Chain A
């Protein structure tokens, strides 16, 4: 009997005990009708070949292990960034259970969100009654200041009209006439989670600026000196937005973060559950129309939002998830140019410290080959930083990247000698990446938690940067933006590199001459 009260064996060790190993063998042999070992081995090896890669890349219909989620997830991400706002997802209820679980697994925080719980009858007759009852319930139970409505694919396929439904619900008294219910159609079969983010951000802005769906006068823009900031869908939103605020404050620039979810996904454990915390106030969201300019940290998360803002007379600046020195320089210079304030001495010193750290450590990164996957903007930011460090990106892949992203990434790679051997893969998935890692191996892989399957299969060490990160804790609390953020990314990369060197040099009397204490 392997189990022991004094030293309780977890699943890691319990099932390696002889009793269980024997049981597994017998189960397989007697009942599983297993594939013969030789055949298994033959096919396993075949999946590593160029021939397999060719067949894999010839896929036209099947997607395997994609690195993207659906629009409604991004919708919820954007909505919880506003003060006391509850996302209301119109459609089937299971979807909402999934979004809430997904975010809680990443942030280790609660995520509040409701569904209109549509079922078969709503599929036939439409979901108007679900909207009427649902808004009334949510309003009474959770006392929000705003309910942000988005849709699942079910509501989109049957063609429910949110604008009309919300109007009718208000007429029926579900919520007061003047209560803010911005909305966005977010079909899961168009784009990805970053599209959903874009649609909701645009929906909220249009709601406040353009007359609340015909129920209030449109706002007149009276330009002021503020800068709006939009972070986009970002797994590091907690750390990043706090860093961005520090940067604006350091430069003495007034700002509005549109969609500030840094507090709601980082509430204290002090005896009180805060369903809402922090967030962009509704007043700030409305007044954001008067800002001088809007900076989007992620171009591909704001493709529809920025033109709406620009149409109101603001300058808009779209960056690509800047990480590292040049990216942050560009970000700070944009703030400086728009505001007229110089980059602060504090930040300038931080820049020097990041360059200092890069100079100290570059030798360990220089010439190392990397594969990167993630959201389109994150891929651009990481690629740029790696090239600053003298690393060589080899594969850059975004399942939700399009042709324009591919071209932009190729341009970035062409700007540096370190990018010359790199290929960009738009719309491909992690099963494609598996073939790439077998046929054109790299030293390190950067990606989200799902990358651990690639690490296991191909032996490529994984540096976890992206969304979601389920199997490591608390990284979302650290910024990756700003010079301080660059420092964090540098350290994460270095940690993995050093761990790998140690792992490869720790065999006594074989390789441990290189098991150095100073590196």
Chain B
């Protein structure tokens, strides 16, 4: 159990308010004013979480956020496995994001798939001075020679591209023409654009709209449509998440025609406008393209949540409600089929996790989506926040969090450390940059971006792994040894 002193909701609220005031004291006045807007607590009945979001990070505070390039190359485009994604600019961005996101895929890497490779234009000073367009053209030529089975190329802009006035669109168009209509996508995801990864997602979505979909207009489909065609949108297949989700959709009789973008292909992107329903997991990173498909092709979209049995059952029913009775019945069958597994998992792990408290700080959908899975195990979320959420994320969060929950948007290293120190949760779920900070403090931790190299966590198969991992983190004997027996 948490040793935090606050017990009643009123006490928790008072403590959290005090805590926010306390951390703000460290800042110069101007910064304190800015940060105050991002820190707060959820009050029952309010339409959002009472914090501002999607605003520029304050310089020098140690934000945990990344950049637009990370949102485009790292999140949206990178997992499309049969395309080559050029990190266009200096070597670093591509190097640090090389294969680190665990977007699983099946294919022969380097021959027909390229997911865990690092293609870079490795800009040198002369490229900055004279421009990189000629180099980019040559890179595309060299790719065509050495990787003839690639199905397309994307150009992921790093900071200098937009600053030196390169015309990557012109190069892409010219090369598309030269290579018989090949899909070559320029993406203006320079890292200085926007305030976080988030704009990169949006730019990447728009690039799919403009450079993939628009080319498809009037072209014949590769397969016959069925009434049950759906596309999985916003699942990056981290540790196989999209696979343990897809299997459930298929079991209920739906046909998954595309995965966006984990283990995805350009063919799947192209086929998506023919789906009858888009099922959207990560709203934050792919709501843009879902809305576009709704407007242009009339494809409805539905948000779902495949973390933990309660939310999975709810989501399966919600997805089924868009289809006929057969699918609805199938959804019930799928839920029934996995009931025994869920019961066994909960019977095994809930007694070990009951009442444990958790603080989260993640990106995308996870600061809210994983809450149900923790609650299925009897755990309680006492604080949560988004790296790059918008207000619509905080609105959606109100359906998940309890009265008085501490909320921190774009949290700084200092704030997060202080919050955890005072709230003393039994588990922190955040990223690699935070992991060791909290473990040093003796607080159990799980990385909730990469699943700490485990996973999948989606679907019923994933829930068993999730439960096992949370138990492993919290109940590891190592946490009993952080104090030397002779230390005071």
Interface residues of A (CB under 8 A from B): 1-6, 8-11, 14-15, 19-20, 23-24, 27-28, 30-35, 39-40, 43-44, 47, 52, 55-56, 59-66, 68-70, 72-73, 88, 91-95, 97-102, 104-105, 108-120, 122-123, 130-131, 133-138, 140-142, 152-154, 157-158, 187-190, 192, 267-274, 431, 434, 450, 453, 457, 470
Q: Which of A4, A70, A95 contacts B91, CB < 8 Å?
A: A70
Whether A118 and B192, one on each chain, are in contact in the complex, defined by CB atoms closer than 8 angstroms, is: yes
A64 to B120, CA, bound (A): 6
Q: List 30 A-B contacts (CB under 8 A).
A: A11-B465, A14-B456, A33-B267, A40-B111, A43-B149, A47-B110, A52-B146, A64-B120, A65-B98, A95-B92, A97-B64, A104-B433, A114-B62, A120-B194, A123-B192, A134-B59, A138-B61, A138-B62, A140-B27, A141-B412, A153-B160, A188-B89, A188-B90, A189-B89, A190-B124, A270-B487, A271-B482, A273-B417, A273-B438, A431-B146
Most chain A CB within a 10 A radius of its CB, from B142, B265, B347: B142
A136 to B31, CA, bound (A): 9
CB distance from B12 to the nearest CB of A (A): 24
B437 at the interface (CB under 8 A from A): yes
B180 at the interface (CB under 8 A from A): no
Whether A112 and B62, one on each chain, are in contact in the complex, defined by CB atoms closer than 8 angstroms, is: yes
B271 at the interface (CB under 8 A from A): yes
A98 to B64, CA, bound (A): 10
Q: Which 4 A-B pairs have the closest CB atoms?
A: A94-B67, A70-B92, A134-B60, A134-B59
Q: Which of B91, B106, B483 contacts A24, CB < 8 Å?
A: B106
Given contacts A5-B344, A40-B108, A133-B58, contact A61 B121 (CB under 8 A): yes
B:271-322 near A, CB below 8 Å = 271
Whether A32 and B268, one on each chain, are in contact in the complex, defined by CB atoms closer than 8 angstroms, is: yes
Q: Which of A1, A44, A68, A133 contacts B60, CB < 8 Å?
A: A133
Whether B67 and A157, one on each chain, are in contact in the complex, defined by CB atoms closer than 8 angstroms, is: no
Whether B222 and A140, one on each chain, are in contact in the complex, defined by CB atoms closer than 8 angstroms, is: no
Chain A residue nearest to B244 (CB atoms) is A14
Whether B440 and A273, one on each chain, are in contact in the complex, defined by CB atoms closer than 8 angstroms, is: yes
Question: Which chain B residues lie closer than 8 Å to A272 at the CB level?
Answer: 440-441
A152 to B441, CA, bound (A): 32
A100 to B456, CA, bound (A): 25
Question: Which chain B residues lie closer than 8 Å to A27 at the CB level?
Answer: 246, 256, 259, 263
Question: Which chain B residues lie closer than 8 Å to A44 at the CB level?
Answer: 108, 111
B:118-134 near A, CB below 8 Å = 118-125, 127-128
CB distance from B188 to the nearest CB of A (A): 12
A157 to B132, CA, bound (A): 13
Given contacts A267-B440, A271-B441, contact A64 B117 (CB under 8 A): yes
Sample of 6 more A-B contacts, CB < 8 Å, known A97-B64, A141-B61: A32-B265, A39-B149, A44-B108, A64-B119, A66-B118, A99-B96
CB distance from A291 to the nearest CB of B (A): 33
Question: Which chain B residues lie closer than 8 Å to A269 at the CB level?
Answer: 439-440, 442, 478, 482
Whether A110 and B60, one on each chain, are in contact in the complex, defined by CB atoms closer than 8 angstroms, is: no
Most chain B CB within a 10 A radius of its CB, from A20, A43, A94: A94
Chain A residue nearest to B70 (CB atoms) is A94
B464 at the interface (CB under 8 A from A): yes
Q: Which of A28, A119, A268 contacts B192, CB < 8 Å?
A: A119
A111 to B106, CA, bound (A): 34
Question: Which chain A residues lie closer than 8 Å to B440 at the CB level?
Answer: 110, 267-274
Question: Which chain A residues lie closer than 8 Å to B111 at the CB level?
Answer: 40, 43-44, 47
A98 to B95, CA, bound (A): 9
Given contacts A104-B432, A110-B436, contact A23 B31 (CB under 8 A): no
Whether B192 and A32, one on each chain, are in contact in the complex, defined by CB atoms closer than 8 angstroms, is: no
Question: Which chain A residues lie closer than 8 Å to B257 at the CB level?
Answer: 31
Question: Which chain B residues lie closer than 8 Å to A116 at the CB level?
Answer: 59-60
Whether A157 and B92, one on each chain, are in contact in the complex, defined by CB atoms closer than 8 angstroms, is: no
Q: Which of B67, B95, B116 contacts A97, CB < 8 Å?
A: B67
Whether B59 and A153, one on each chain, are in contact in the complex, defined by CB atoms closer than 8 angstroms, is: no
Whether A66 and B95, one on each chain, are in contact in the complex, defined by CB atoms closer than 8 angstroms, is: yes
Question: Which chain A residues lie closer than 8 Å to B125 at the CB level?
Answer: 187, 189-190
Q: Which of B60, B108, B246 contacts A114, CB < 8 Å?
A: B60
In the complex, per-residue mask of B438-456: 1 if CB is within 8 Å of any chain A CB, else 0: 1111100000000000111
B398 at the interface (CB under 8 A from A): no
Question: Which chain A residues lie closer than 8 Å to B46 at the CB level?
Answer: none
CB distance from B184 to the nearest CB of A (A): 14
Question: Which chain B residues lie closer than 8 Å to A6 at the CB level?
Answer: 344, 348
A137 to B57, CA, bound (A): 12
Whether A5 and B91, one on each chain, are in contact in the complex, defined by CB atoms closer than 8 angstroms, is: no
Whether A60 and B138, one on each chain, are in contact in the complex, defined by CB atoms closer than 8 angstroms, is: yes
Question: Which chain B residues lie closer than 8 Å to A30 at the CB level?
Answer: 223
A445 to B138, CA, bound (A): 31
Whether B96 and A69, one on each chain, are in contact in the complex, defined by CB atoms closer than 8 angstroms, is: yes
Whether B436 and A88, one on each chain, are in contact in the complex, defined by CB atoms closer than 8 angstroms, is: no
B408 at the interface (CB under 8 A from A): no
A20 to B93, CA, bound (A): 34
Q: Which of A4, A62, A104, A192 contacts B143, CB < 8 Å?
A: A62
CB distance from A511 to the nearest CB of B (A): 29
A117 to B56, CA, bound (A): 8
In the complex, per-residue mask of B14-54: 1 if CB is within 8 Å of any chain A CB, else 0: 00000000000011101100000000000000000000000
Chain B residue nearest to A19 (CB atoms) is B247
CB distance from B466 to the nearest CB of A (A): 10
Whether A1 and B338, one on each chain, are in contact in the complex, defined by CB atoms closer than 8 angstroms, is: yes
A99 to B433, CA, bound (A): 10
Whether A68 and B191, one on each chain, are in contact in the complex, defined by CB atoms closer than 8 angstroms, is: no
Whether A32 and B142, one on each chain, are in contact in the complex, defined by CB atoms closer than 8 angstroms, is: no
CB distance from B386 to the nearest CB of A (A): 15
CB distance from A222 to the nearest CB of B (A): 37
Question: Which chain B residues lie closer than 8 Å to A102 at the CB level?
Answer: 96
Whether B223 and A31, one on each chain, are in contact in the complex, defined by CB atoms closer than 8 angstroms, is: yes
B361 at the interface (CB under 8 A from A): no
Question: Which chain A residues lie closer than 8 Å to B100 at the CB level?
Answer: 101, 105, 470
Whether B192 and A11, one on each chain, are in contact in the complex, defined by CB atoms closer than 8 angstroms, is: no
A120 to B435, CA, bound (A): 31
B66 at the interface (CB under 8 A from A): yes
Q: Which of A35, A431, A434 contacts B149, CB < 8 Å?
A: A35
Question: Which chain B residues lie closer than 8 Å to A65 at the CB level?
Answer: 98, 117-118
CB distance from B270 to the nearest CB of A (A): 9
Given contacts A31-B257, A140-B27, A271-B483, contact A154 B61 (CB under 8 A): no
Whether B432 and A66, one on each chain, are in contact in the complex, defined by CB atoms closer than 8 angstroms, is: no
Chain A residue nearest to B343 (CB atoms) is A5
Most chain B CB within a 10 A radius of its CB, from A68, A269, A272: A269
Q: Which of B56, B243, B341, B442 contacts A4, CB < 8 Å?
A: B341
Whether B69 and A450, one on each chain, are in contact in the complex, defined by CB atoms closer than 8 angstroms, is: no
CB distance from B456 to the nearest CB of A (A): 6
CB distance from B426 to the nearest CB of A (A): 15
A262 to B271, CA, bound (A): 53
Whether A3 and B437, one on each chain, are in contact in the complex, defined by CB atoms closer than 8 angstroms, is: no
Whether B435 and A133, one on each chain, are in contact in the complex, defined by CB atoms closer than 8 angstroms, is: no
Most chain A CB within a 10 A radius of its CB, from B65, B111, B127, B266: B111
Question: Which chain B residues lie closer than 8 Å to A68 at the CB level?
Answer: 91, 95
Given contacts A189-B128, A273-B440, contact A34 B341 (CB under 8 A): no
A19 to B243, CA, bound (A): 11
Whether B250 and A23, one on each chain, are in contact in the complex, defined by CB atoms closer than 8 angstroms, is: yes
Q: Which of B59, B68, B149 contacts A115, CB < 8 Å?
A: B59
Whether B268 and A20, one on each chain, are in contact in the complex, defined by CB atoms closer than 8 angstroms, is: no
B181 at the interface (CB under 8 A from A): no
Given contacts A5-B344, A272-B440, contact A97 B244 (CB under 8 A): no
Chain B residue nearest to A45 (CB atoms) is B111
Question: Which chain A residues lie closer than 8 Å to B240 at the CB level?
Answer: 11, 14-15
CB distance from A331 to the nearest CB of B (A): 30
B484 at the interface (CB under 8 A from A): yes
B239 at the interface (CB under 8 A from A): yes
Given contacts A11-B240, A63-B120, A273-B440, contact A93 B57 (CB under 8 A): yes
B219 at the interface (CB under 8 A from A): no
Given contacts A70-B92, A140-B26, A273-B441, contact A31 B258 (CB under 8 A): yes
